[in-house]
Each structure stands twice: as C-alpha cells, then as structure tokens.
Amino acid sequence: MQRGSFQWMKSLNKSIILNKIRIDGPISRAQIAKETELTPPTVGTMVKELLAQGLIKESQLGASQGGRKPTMLVLHVQGFHIIGVDVGPSQIRFIISDLAGEIADELLQEIDPSIENEAFLKMLKQGIQLLMNQHPSLQFIGIGVAMHGVVDAEQGISIFAPNLDLRDIPIKETLEQSFAMNVKVENDAKALALGESWFQVGTAEKSMIAINIGQGIGAGMVIDGKLYHGEHGIAGEIGHMMIDLRGKKCSCGNHGCLQTIASGPAIADRAQELIDAGNSSILAQQHMPLTAEMVHQAAVAGDELARAILHEAGTYLGIALANLIHTFNPGFVIIGGGVAKAGSYILEPIMEAMKSRVIYDRAQDTVVQLSKLSDYGSSLGAVALVLSELFQPET
C-alpha cells in the first residue's frame, strides 16, 4: 500500500474500526464514531465493507439511549480460521483457531530426534494439510509457526533449532508455496508473548514481557502491541542474563547465567545434587532421572527439599525480573512454560524477590501473572502472529 495515499488512509481507518469492534464489541456504529473521532458516514461505509468481507457481523439491537435502538456490531469470530503450529523440543502441536483464539481442533505429533530439514518441512506440510482436510468447510486465512531456537522472523527462516539440531529451514517460503496463504514464523518465546498480550492481556496496549521457562529461559517483549526483536533478533534472550558472577558454569561458557539456576533442567539437577549430598527427600526414592515436574509434585506433596529448591529458583527469577523492570520496565509480566506449572511455589518467591529489589514503589506493583494458556501458549501465539497483521497492518 502506497504510504500517504488515500487508500492507505482508508485502510488505516478501517483497521481502527475493525479493532474497535474486536476489542469493545458489541458496539454500535454511533459509538464507534464517538470513540474513534471518525464521522458517522465514514464509519458507516467502512462497516458496510467489513460486513461484506465477513470479518464482522450485526448482532442484536442494543438498548435505546432515548431514541432509536443501535444495531450492535461484533467480530465474526467464526468467519475465518487460522492454523497455529508450535514446534517444541520433541513434538509439534498443530491447532485450528478462530479469530478469538478458540481452539476448534488440534493435532500433536512426535518428532523423530534425528529428523532432517526436508522431512521436517514435509511433516509440517502434512500436519497442516491433515487438519485442513478434516475441516473442509472452514475458511483459512493464515498460518503461524512458533519455533524454538533462533528465528529470522522477517525472512521466515528457522536459523538454528538447538533441540533438533536443524539449521536454516525456509519455513515461510515452503508453506506459502504449498498453501498459498500468509505465513508468519517466530521464535516460540516471542510468539508466546504476543499470544498472551493478544488473548490474555487483551488490549495489547501496554508494554509487556512474557518469560518462557522450560528447557531454557527466553522472553518476548511486546511494545504497543508489536513484538520487539532488537537489532539481531535476539532481544529477550534472558536465559543468559548474568545474575551471579561467581555462580555455576553455563553451557554458553560463562558463569552465573539465569539458566543455570532456574530452568527446568537446572531445577532437576539441583535436586539430584542435594540428594546426593545426603539431604532427605521423597525424591530420593525415584529411580528415574529427576525432572522439574517431579520436583514440583514433591513440593505439592509437602517435601521440604523440593519446596526449598523451587524457592531458590524463584528467588533468582525474581532478581532477574527486577533487572528487567529496571531496564525494560514492562507494565505486565507473564510467566509461562513448563516451570510455570509449579504455580505459587515458584510465583511467590519470584514476587518476594522482585518486590524487595525494585527501588521504585510504583514499579513494585508491576502485575506478574502465571500464564493461563498452559500448553497452548506458543501455538496460540503463532495464531496471534497472523491476527496481529490482520488487525493492525503496518502504519
């Protein structure tokens, strides 16, 4: 679209109206005009077009304000659907979502650890095709892919996926050729952040940060409803934020990275270490290698050692969060990923450590919440990638 042209201005105004309906609907034409400061005729013509496109629909009549009843407009959430794909360390999750983030269907597939680029792309294509075939009546408008590791979001390439040991996978190009629709690719932590901002925080107006704690620790930042990538696309790689100069050695070669204390594997390792040192715990009876999940379950069961370990991890996360608040100062923080399942056992020490370290009173009240999207966080984030382009095209 030619920037600065009439068409461009029109599409911008149209987006404003569409977004208004999405966020504040059901809403009448008259109220849209009031709140957006556009004139009633402008709103009228735009609404007519949006109705024709099938993006919105008229619902019931609203209550009278002393005159004619307004016809309320709402997003036609079932009008179009989106495919969301979340490529994790060991499995791929495919979902079909409507425009409101309601999941209509899903598919989970295990990844062969020795998979190669070609087979991986084929697996993606087949999974998507399978889901689409099962819902021939639905109209799909885009595919979003959340991928762990380093991603070039602009090109739509997975540059490096450490857990699969794959490099330079041209995901966007391949899928756009196969399905002839808009494809967005993004790092999973960033997708999670957008998803949370889109479906949970709601308006996506505030700056927010979503921290994904699993095998590693990553974060995504949303500013004014848009993902922030940084110069090299590595903004949010907080797993390697140094917290403790003289701490444990990290896989990256440095010491005291956040990952060495608060990631899933770090929690499991720490438990093993303390048990080996002779501390008593119900975890000592485990025959399988310990996982963070087991530590959490032990904590729920009342195990003191497990609780202490989670408390320690939470404290470090809280310190890291204080650092983030002192640098990025988000209005909203979401904790997601596997470790977030430990619930209050991890959230409480996080809050405690954060509050005691943030030096501005008002910033101490930064809202911190556990993700409610659970296992669907990243896949819904992938959906949000497509939605964010549909609803707020580039200025």
In the bound complex, what is the minimum distance in angstroms from residue 39's beta carbon to DNA?
A: 4
Q: In whole angstroms, what is the distance from residue 300 CA to residue 254 CA? A: 33
Q: From the list DNA, its own copies, none, pick the one residue 371 interacts with, judged by a Cβ distance below 5 to 8 Å according to partner type.
A: none
Provide the 3-class DSSP secondary structure of residue 149. coil
By CB under 8 A, residue 329 contacts its own copies: yes
By CB under 8 A, residue 11 contacts its own copies: no
Residues 97-156 within binding reach of its own copies (CB under 8 A) = 150
By CB under 7 A, residue 249 contacts DNA: no
Q: From the list its own copies, DNA, none, pick the one residue 357 interacts with, judged by a Cβ distance below 5 to 8 Å according to partner type.
A: its own copies
Specify the residue, 59 or 254, whose C-beta has the smaller distance to its own copies: 254
**Cα distances (Å, whole numbers) of residue 77 to 11, 91, 95, 182, 292:** 20, 28, 16, 18, 38
By CB under 8 A, residue 23 contacts its own copies: no
Binding mask 243-282 for its own copies (x = CB under 8 A): xxxxx----x-x-x--------------------------
Query: Tokens 């809202």 correspond to what residue?
Result: 367
Instruction: Label residue 361 left, alpha or beta by phi (over 0 means left) and psi (-120 to 50 means alpha).
Output: alpha
By CB under 8 A, residue 41 contacts its own copies: no
Q: In whole angstroms, what is the distance from residue 135 CA to residue 105 CA? A: 9
By CB under 7 A, residue 29 contacts DNA: yes
Provide the 3-class DSSP secondary structure of residue 138. coil
By CB under 7 A, residue 10 contacts DNA: yes
Q: Are strands 332-336 and 367-370 parallel, antiparallel or unpaired?
A: parallel
By CB under 8 A, residue 228 contacts its own copies: yes
188 is written with which tokens? 């999973």
Options 42, 155, 279, 364; binder of DNA; rule CB under 7 A: 42
**Cα distances (Å, whole numbers) of residue 160 to 157, 167, 241, 381:** 9, 4, 20, 20
Q: In whole angstroms, what is the distance from residue 259 CA to residue 265 CA? A: 9
Would you tell me which residues interact with its own copies (CB under 8 A)?
2-4, 9, 12-13, 16, 36-38, 42, 150, 206-207, 219, 223, 228-238, 240-247, 252, 254, 256, 319, 322-332, 356-357, 359-360, 362-363, 366, 395
